Structure 1
Amino acid sequence: MNSEELASVLEMDGEERYDYFLSEVLEEREIWILVNSESRFLSIVSEDDGVAHLPVWPSSEFAVEYAKGADGLTPKSISLPDFFKKWVPGLSKDGLQVGVFPGADKTLWITEADELKKDLQDELSSF
């Protein structure tokens, strides 16, 4: 993906990026997160409402772009089956939501992990 394509996708609004995320994840069968040097995943707590979420991306390029300027964050892939079996229950148990694909405008689609799993499964059934 060249930098123009990357910028064009990042300029989409939150709903368009959510749809893009679903289609790309189903194509590649993986979700990307950022981890630090101790392999701890990045989670963000909103200053407005205190909601904690795990930001996720459809490819490593987008995660790398987001992490620019942040020391020690690297992209890590999670297979779709692992996300469904391990991450969704863990995120739900910990009360963490999922921030799907932050964009250039810093907006993102925040959803429950179970809801994202359902949306991905719905898309998989029609894939």
Structure 2
Amino acid sequence: MSADNIKSFYSQNSEQRYDLVIAQAKAQGNLWTLADDQGCVIVESGKDEQCLVVWHDEAIAQDWAQNDFDGCRPLAITLDDFIAKWAPGMTQDGFDVAVAPSLAGEGIVVAPQELADDLA
């Protein structure tokens, strides 16, 4: 994905980014998150929720990581795995999902099962 495409993606509002992530993830069959040697990156939302951050594109995930998570790498999660394993496990562990936050950290936070339902 080009720098212009990434910039265009972030110029959309949170709902538009969410809808694009859902459509593209369904088309491609996976989501992207960030990970390091310790595991997946978990961020805290403004509501003190612990969130896994996801995107629909590896380049966008890598671009977002440059701000505060430079040592992280994009990690693909197949939709089948997210729906069958990640969503139930995250729900049990009390995590939410931040879907394609802006570079300022603004975005839609949903329960893992809600995202799984939207992706199914």
Q: Is TM-score (shorter-chain normalized) higher than 0.5?
A: yes
Structure whose alpha-carbon radius of gyration is higher: 1
Corresponding residue of 2:25: 25
- Once the two structures are superposed, the pairs formed by residues 66-105 of structure 1 within 5 Å of their partners are 66-69=64-67, 70-105=69-104
Alignment coverage as a number of residue pairs = 119
What secondary structure, in the 3-state scheme, does the structure 2 residue paired with 1:8 have? helix
- The letter of the residue matching 1:79 is T
RMSD, aligned α-carbons: 1.2
Amino acid in the other structure paired with 1:67: A
Residue in 1 aligned with 2:41? Answer: 42
1:8-54: CA deviation from partner (whole Å, max 9, x where unpaired): 0111100000000011101100010100123x0000123x4211111
Which has the larger strand fraction?
Answer: 2
Identity %, equivalent residues = 29
The runs of 4+ residues in structure 1 deviating greater than 6 Å are none
CA contact (8 A) 1:31 1:57 kept: yes
Alpha carbons 2:79, 2:119 under 8 Å: kept: no
CA distance in 2, matches of 1:72, 1:5: 23
Query: What 5-or-longer segments of structure 1 have no aligned partner?
Result: 122-127
The alignment's TM-score, normalised by the length of structure 1, stands at 0.88
**Aligned partner letter, 2:77:** I
CA-CA distance at 1:71 after TM superposition: 3.2
Residue 6 of structure 1 and its aligned partner are, at CA, apart by 1.1
CA–CA distance in 1 between the matches of 2:105 and 2:44? 14
Q: Secondary structure at the match of 2:12?
A: coil
In the aligned structure 1, how far is the partner of 2:55 from the partner of 2:70?
19
One-letter identity of the residue aligned with 2:51? H
